[in-house]
Structure 1
Amino acid sequence: MHRLVLGGCLGLAIALPAVASDAPPAAVQLARDALIVDTHIDAPGQLMKKWADLGKAAPDREFDYPRARAGGLDVAFMSIYTSPRQDDDGSAWQVANTMIDAVQALAARHPDKFAILTSPGDVDRLREGGRVLLPMGMENGAPIGDDLANLRFFFDRGVRYITLAHSGNNRISDSSYALEKKWNGLSPFGREVVAEMNRLGIMVDVSHLSDPAVRQAVELSTVPVIASHSALRHFTPGFERNLSDELLEAIAARGGVVQIPFGNAFVNPVAAADVQAYFRAEAEFNKRNAARKAAGQPLLDEKKFDDDWDAAHPSPPTRIDAVLDQVDHAVKLVGVDHVGIGSDFDGVSGNLPDSLRTVADFPNFVAGLQARGYAEADIRKILGGNLLRVWAAIEAGAEPR
């Protein structure tokens, strides 16, 4: 069911304007001058649904080259997302490799516009000429299967962070979305995965994990961890997908960084409550279908269930202030050095704040930070400096190759 992939791909975005025309000139200039790193964009999944040439204007997407440059985006982590269902049916390996191929093909088709990024030390060199850099993060460790050697395989293919689980428990970790947990945190194999990721220099991403799994990953990792796209539970009580203050502090205490997403379901408490209610309803739906299958009866229509749910629970209007409030709270709690951005563009079906609709809109985010009194140096940290610092520390902690 599609809502299981919140933070993955929820379908094609609606056509949107290309430029954030309402941003003040000072914000536009800083967005263009600063190094902007967005750690979570679901463009590869959208390419699997419907191909588009992202080197040109693609009005039905939230990421393309013209809007990235208009918004000042320099480093766009491409999400290599696989679902729990693909894990169950054995297709996750194939899907992940196909998505990686798509990202590499995009860069090869437009070498003047894109380049694959595999090390923070290459940013300045590769972005010369206005290129948008495309590092890759794997959302859900399902493609690893049961073989630690696959971590090296995907590292060699360019993957630089792995979100250990997604919307279901897997071989590695419990998921925040799962109503019933399997491992009480990380599995024994998951502990080996964390150690091998540290050895290779792959960032451990704790977004989507259950609270015990986040805590264990932070404690086990010998280098800082990241949350590639996680908002804060302070604003969405009971929503385990978002990080508690305690976990935010734990990540920061070990030198990590939390990347704030823009999607309404993460930053709007009404939308977050709807997501929680969906998972409860979805669990009951699956139980009914399991009983019908056992009785030899026709199964209920999953698409109709999702469509009916969406019709009854439209995403509430959300202002950019909801995202800025998240940043303020994180900065107040753990300091400006541990906060960044992981938008989830192309992953939440256009359910985004009014003035953060595409990658062209980063100047609006900058303007919001300026209006709240953030110094330019701190804005630059939030926009990308913090993530690159942490990535460099993780790379430095890897074993020499």
Structure 2
Amino acid sequence: MRLRWRDLGMPRADRSHGVTVEVIGWPTAAWGVSRSDHFLLMAEANCCAGCVPANPLAVIEVQARELLDLDAGVMRLSGTLQVVEGERDAWRYRLCDARPVGGVTRRRLLAASPLVCLPVPAMAQTPPGAVDMHTHAGNIIRASYGRDTLLDVAGPMRTGGLAVICLAIVADGPIIQVSSGRLRPGREPRPGELYEFSKTQFAKVHDLARGQSMAIIRSAAELRAAQASQPAVIVTSEGGDFLEGKIERLDEAYQRWQLRQLQLTHYRPNELGDIQTEPAVHGGLTPFGADVIRRCNQLGIVVDVAHGTYELVKAAASVTTKPLLLSHTGLTQRPSPWTRLITPDHAKAIAATGGVVGIWPVNSIAAISSYAEGIFRMVDQIGVDHVGIGTDQLGLLGPSSLPSYADLPQLTAALRARFNLDETAKLLGGNYQRIFAASLA
């Protein structure tokens, strides 16, 4: 039986306890070990033992018959599958009495994981002008509370070929808490609290950019000129909560902090509208929210409707004169209560404005191939001109399929399994550059 990585966590794998299987993957052992009979096999190539994903559905523990060469790259192994239950700190799947079989052809590699990232340099080169449309990279959230220091983000961006990040503050941060496994508002904000906190966060974004020699992008020309060799930042707010119903603060943020992207809502139903993860209280977009969209169109600020309800999105589409952005989400055909995923109709409402939907790396399997598959599914619904990436780096509650920007070439290679160079460039930044230019025109 050939075991595929997408089988892990599914009945096909769980019913194969004691069955002889074949699996293709990349080995990793302890630091400095090049030969071993006990190691981990993963769905993606990784650089070292310190980068083993925490997700048990992306790793198989291997107990081999003999010492195997782990520096040879991708392996095709045969052995007896064990589904491990009840063992503390154990991986869920174990391949026992494993031995190498045959060679690994490109065809077999693709069969093992159709979207797997091939180590082909020409395919793995990130296109120029790549943009992450939503991120908290650099530890901007914790640093804003004074709990930690800012981390290097420019270095991984240069390594992975990422030119620009839309670096987001969290406007409702002080009142959000984890409840029942999801983020929810824990209390009502005090007057002026979110405004003052947001100013602290905006200052941290500028501190990060200045400390790492990253330019702040204010115009379409500056975005077009951005290169991964000198990464840049677009100042973003996740939530318009700092406005507190005062539209003049939007002008202030535009001038003082160079705000160029505004997400209307986050985890609090606010003065602008309703959110996906709480009961609706406004029926979608509020009149103030409509006014904010109009002012963003006038000033030259990208309007992001991530976290907003479908009703909010439809109303926003009827108000805006510029393309809408939905910076980070994924596709679902059957939405569950309080999901952050969106339906095809929800996505099509964004595309109808000429806008872009950003796919985030939240998947059941923390592998870059699964991230690419999420992008494929959205492209199938709204077309290659309306999809991008929004990693939500250091903002996710669970594991990410793209934990480091240094891994971006692997995503590029996975996308190249289906798309040509021009299409891949659109998905990794070109589509965002288009709506940014239209929003600032």
Q: Of Structure 1 and Structure 2, which has the larger fraction of its residues in strand?
A: 2
Q: Where does structure 2 lack aligned partners over 5 or more consecutive residues?
A: 1-48, 53-72, 74-116, 176-187
2:383 counterpart of 1:335: yes
1:79 to 146, 162, 168: 168
Residue aligned with 2:322, SS: coil
The aligned counterpart of 2:131 is 37
Pair 71,350 (structure 1): closer, same or farther in 2 beyond 3 Å = farther
Determine if contact 2:132/2:389 at 8 Å carries over to the other structure: yes
The aligned counterpart of 1:382 is 427
The aligned counterpart of 1:394 is 439
Matches within 5 A, 1:156-175: 156=255, 157-175=257-275
1:365 to 402, 411, 423: 411
2:302 counterpart of 1:203: yes
Q: TM-score, length-normalised on structure 2? A: 0.66
Give, in angstroms, the shift of residue 126 of structure 1. Answer: 5.0
2:169 counterpart of 1:121: no
Q: Distance in 2 between matches of 1:28 and 1:158?
A: 36
Give, in angstroms, the shift of residue 107 of structure 1. Answer: 2.4
* Amino acid in the other structure paired with 1:162: L
* Amino acid in the other structure paired with 2:438: A
Pair 352,93 (structure 1): closer, same or farther in 2 beyond 3 Å = same
Pair 365,29 (structure 1): closer, same or farther in 2 beyond 3 Å = closer
2:436 counterpart of 1:347: no
Q: Of Structure 1 and Structure 2, which has the larger fraction of its residues in helix?
A: 1
The aligned counterpart of 2:207 is 105
* Amino acid in the other structure paired with 1:257: V
Per-residue displacement from partner, 1:199-245 (whole Å, max 9, x unpaired)?
Answer: 11111111001111111111111111000112112375555422211
Bigger RCO of structures 1 and 2 (CA < 8 A, at least 6 apart): 1
2:159 counterpart of 1:70: yes
Pair 235,17 (structure 1): closer, same or farther in 2 beyond 3 Å = farther
* Amino acid in the other structure paired with 1:393: A
Q: Distance in 1 between matches of 2:350 and 2:236?
A: 19
Give, in angstroms, the shift of residue 25 of structure 1. Answer: 3.8
Per-residue displacement from partner, 1:217-276 (whole Å, max 9, x unpaired)?
Answer: 111111110001121123755554222111211111110000111134xxx4xxxxxxxx
Determine if contact 2:165/2:234 at 8 Å carries over to the other structure: yes
2:309 counterpart of 1:263: no
Per-residue displacement from partner, 1:21-40 (whole Å, max 9, x unpaired)?
Answer: 98624267521x42210011
Pair 100,377 (structure 1): closer, same or farther in 2 beyond 3 Å = same
Per-residue displacement from partner, 1:313-356 (whole Å, max 9, x unpaired)?
Answer: xxxx4333332222112212221000000001110145113xx2
Pair 142,37 (structure 1): closer, same or farther in 2 beyond 3 Å = same
Q: Say which is worse superposed, 82-91 or 139-148, in terms of deviation.
A: 82-91
Pair 36,16 (structure 1): closer, same or farther in 2 beyond 3 Å = farther
Q: Say which is worse superposed, 45-54 or 89-98, in terms of deviation.
A: 45-54
Q: Distance in 2 between matches of 1:349 and 1:65?
A: 23
Give, in angstroms, the shift of residue 197 of structure 1. Answer: 1.2
* Amino acid in the other structure paired with 2:370: A
2:180 counterpart of 1:135: no
Number of corresponding residues: 313
Give, in angstroms, the shift of residue 123 of structure 1. Answer: 2.8
Q: Distance in 2 between matches of 1:193 and 1:69?
A: 35
Residue aligned with 1:337, SS: helix
Pair 235,381 (structure 1): closer, same or farther in 2 beyond 3 Å = farther
Q: Where does structure 1 lack aligned partners over 5 or more consecutive residues?
A: 1-14, 56-63, 269-316, 397-401
Q: Distance in 2 between matches of 1:84 and 1:183?
A: 21
1:321 to 356, 369, 376: 369
Per-residue displacement from partner, 1:153-186 (whole Å, max 9, x unpaired)?
Answer: 11111111111111121111011111x2110001
Pair 340,73 (structure 1): closer, same or farther in 2 beyond 3 Å = same
Pair 35,28 (structure 1): closer, same or farther in 2 beyond 3 Å = farther
The aligned counterpart of 1:275 is none
* Amino acid in the other structure paired with 1:40: H
Give, in angstroms, the shift of residue 387 of structure 1. Answer: 0.2
